[in-house]
């Protein structure tokens, strides 16, 4: 029985980490499509969005089955609970990537601010890296590394605040930039939310490793 449980838990771990990497790739592609004004790329993201949703449903189903069948305790239970909680966070990240793709398709502005789009591209790379990194911390069971994600998220907040400032200034200087600048604000908000979700997963990694529930999102937000 124990051997079967360990094998199924290893499979569950693999499914969870694979989903995390898929989400990171989707985020990066969605931001790149926005920056490149690539509607076809954005449409491809929307067409593949079901993959993330289906993976979430399958992983959740498996966690419930394992809890019911094996009735795990202590560290085994914490690992399954961590996956159950964190997989829903990954799905919400995927929702934000989908929102970015939708924004790319319906964008109205024809005049752009190159520097802001470069900043958004950098934010997208940073967020995708944060997601990949937090998944690595999960694999390594690294609670200290997971806690450090909070510092990276504050750095992301500062970038989002700079995008907001530059976008507002652009609107003040040129009324033709209003539509594009409004899109920039929305995209920065989506990316900031993904950063917050990354710290949510980090909190569950700490729980998995230590059994303690901590708060890595204290509420301070440079974007406001």
**Count of helix runs (H) and strand runs (E) in the chain:** 7, 0
Quick check: 223 pLDDT over 50?
Answer: no
Q: Which residues contact 74 (CB under 8 A, 6 or more apart)?
A: none
Quick check: 22 pLDDT over 80?
Answer: yes
More confident position, 49 or 106: 49
CA separation (Å) from 23 to 5, 18, 41, 78?
Answer: 27, 9, 16, 23
Confidence category of residue 109, pLDDT binned at 50, 70, 90: low
Quick check: 108 pLDDT over 80?
Answer: no
CATH architecture of structural domain 2-210: Up-down Bundle (1.20)
Distance (Å, whole) CA 76 – CA 7: 13
At CA 204, angle to CA 13 and CA 93, rounded to 5?
80
Helix axes 114-140, 178-210, angle to 10 degrees: 10
Quick check: 13 pLDDT over 80?
Answer: yes
pLDDT at 1: 78
């Amino acid at each position: 029985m124990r051997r079967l449980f360990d094998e199924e838990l290893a499979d569950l771990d693999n499914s969870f980490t694979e989903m995390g990497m898929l989400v990171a790739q989707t985020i990066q592609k969605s931001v790149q499509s926005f920056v490149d004004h690539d509607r076809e790329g954005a449409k491809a993201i929307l067409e593949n969005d079901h993959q993330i949703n289906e993976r979430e449903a399958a992983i959740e189903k498996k966690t419930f089955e394992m809890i019911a069948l094996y009735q795990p305790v202590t560290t085994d239970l914490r690992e399954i609970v961590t996956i159950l909680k964190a997989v829903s966070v990954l799905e919400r990240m995927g929702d934000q990537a989908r929102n970015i793709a939708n924004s790319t398709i319906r964008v109205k502005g024809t005049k752009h601010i190159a520097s802001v789009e470069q900043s958004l591209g950098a934010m997208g790379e940073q967020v995708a890296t944060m997601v990949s990194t937090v998944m690595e911390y999960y694999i390594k069971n690294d609670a200290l590394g997971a806690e450090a994600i909070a510092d990276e998220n504050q750095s992301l907040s500062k970038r989002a605040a700079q995008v907001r400032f530059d976008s507002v200034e652009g609107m003040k200087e040129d009324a033709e930039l209003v539509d594009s600048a409004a899109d920039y604000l929305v995209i920065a908000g989506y990316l900031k939310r993904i950063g917050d979700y990354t710290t949510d997963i980090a909190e569950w990694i700490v729980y998995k490793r230590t059994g303690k529930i901590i708060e890595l999102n204290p509420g301070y937000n440079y974007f406001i």
